Copies of this chain bind each other. A is one copy, B any other.
Amino acid sequence: MQIVLMSAHRIVVATPAGYTGCGPTSEDRDCVLFAERVEVRRNAVEKRLRHLLGDVRGAPLAPVRLAEAMRYATLGGGKRFRPYLVIEAAALFGVTEQQALDTAAAIECIHCYSLVHDDLPAMDDDDLRRGRPTVHKAFDEATAILAGDGLLTIAFEILSAPAAHPDPAIRAQLVLGLARASGWRGMAGGQMLDLEAEGVLQDTASIRRIQALKTGALIEFSVDAGAILGCASAPEREALQAYARAIGLAFQIGDDLLDAEGSPEQTGKATGKDAGAGKATFVSLLGISGAHETLRALGSEAVSALKVFGRRGASLEEAAHFVTSRRS
């Protein structure tokens, strides 16, 4: 097993050959190294978001409350899974963490906005998120709506600013990709369909389609953003797209399993909601063991798509293992 240690960033790469599974009971060193790597990325993203969502006090009559709500919604929690994908996909092509950080932060802002709006009383009506009161509970509904709007908008501000990438053609491409992934034909459209699907009998194909928009589109774009930053070739980009499609679907199945099997302490949000609402999910359609089986198959599919990158694909492979065995 080859382990590369880059002391400057405390980055550890465990090669695919050395991977021995990362279940909750595993004490394997690779898991520790992967966890450390995730933590390094998470800290970098957190620090950057803290800077980008910096204090507005000082300006005359600054919208301090709005800025506070935006920071509350974004900082101090979250797995930073999408930023991890951006940074690791970009790293395949020699792009440094620093060079990918603003794109990663922008995508995280979109993710956080979607959580704030989805939690609103008129939508999923959730009181708990990441173990804390949701934004409309901690502030109020108007502030939560505006905080979501602010986070959605700042994502495009971050992505179109020169700090995101020196080449404006890359920046424009990133903006276009993010807007498509998160808008009416992407994430927002998926949330609409998901709301409409409540109480309506769904088949697996419909659930797949809804989740491909609601959750999959942004996860897929996170990986694609890394490819864009790295100026990937067409076959490399396609391989990453296949990988991203598999983990995007796996992520949602994992979410459904956590809702069915997990506890609020574990997930930081209410669980058992889907069954309570009589909502069709992958778990209700495939059963618990069927869902686990599909997860495993998707994990293999994701890992297989990475073959073209050889050993360089190790960290994305770890991400696939995380998605298919996550407990939070």
Chain A interface (Cβ < 8 Å from any Cβ of B): 56, 59-63, 65-67, 70, 113, 117, 120, 122-123, 140-143, 145-146, 148-150, 152-154, 156-157, 159-161, 168-169, 171-173, 175-176, 178-180, 182-185, 188-193, 195-196, 206, 209-210, 213
Q: How far is the CA of A253 from the CA of B297 in the complex (A)?
A: 62
In Å, the complex CA distance between A117 and B61 comes to 22
Cβ contacts under 8 Å, A192 to chain B: 63, 65-66, 142-143, 146
Extra 11 A-B pairs, beta carbons < 8 Å, given A122-B140, A150-B189? A63-B213, A66-B192, A67-B184, A113-B149, A153-B179, A154-B183, A156-B178, A157-B183, A161-B176, A168-B169, A168-B173
A175's partner among B61, B122, B172, B191 (CB-CB below 8 A) is: B172
**B176 engages A61 (CB within 8 Å):** no
**Interface contact B172-A160, CB-CB below 8 Å:** yes
Q: Which residues of chain B are near A161, meaning CB under 8 Å?
A: 176
A160 touches B175 (CB 8 A): yes
**Given the known A-B contacts A142-B195, A191-B146, are A184 and B66 also in contact in the complex, defined by CB atoms under 8 Å?**
yes
Q: List 13 A-B contacts (CB under 8 A).
A: A61-B206, A66-B184, A70-B184, A122-B140, A122-B141, A143-B192, A146-B191, A152-B152, A153-B182, A161-B176, A168-B168, A168-B171, A168-B173
Closest B residue to A184 using CB positions = B150
Expressed in whole angstroms, the Cα–Cα distance for A152 and B188 within the complex equals 11
Question: Which secondary structure characterizes the binding site on chain A?
Answer: helix
A63 adjacent to B189 (CB under 8 Å): yes
Contacts of A152 in B (CB 8 A): 149, 152-153
Contact A179 B157 (CB under 8 A): yes
Known contacts A157-B183, A175-B160, A180-B157; A150 and B66 CB within 8 A of each other: no
In the complex the two chains form, what is the Cα distance from A70 to B146 in whole Å?
18
* A189-B122 in contact (CB<8A): no
Interface centre among A66, A184, A191 (most CB of B within 10 A): A184
- Select from chain B the residue with minimum beta-carbon distance to A196: B65
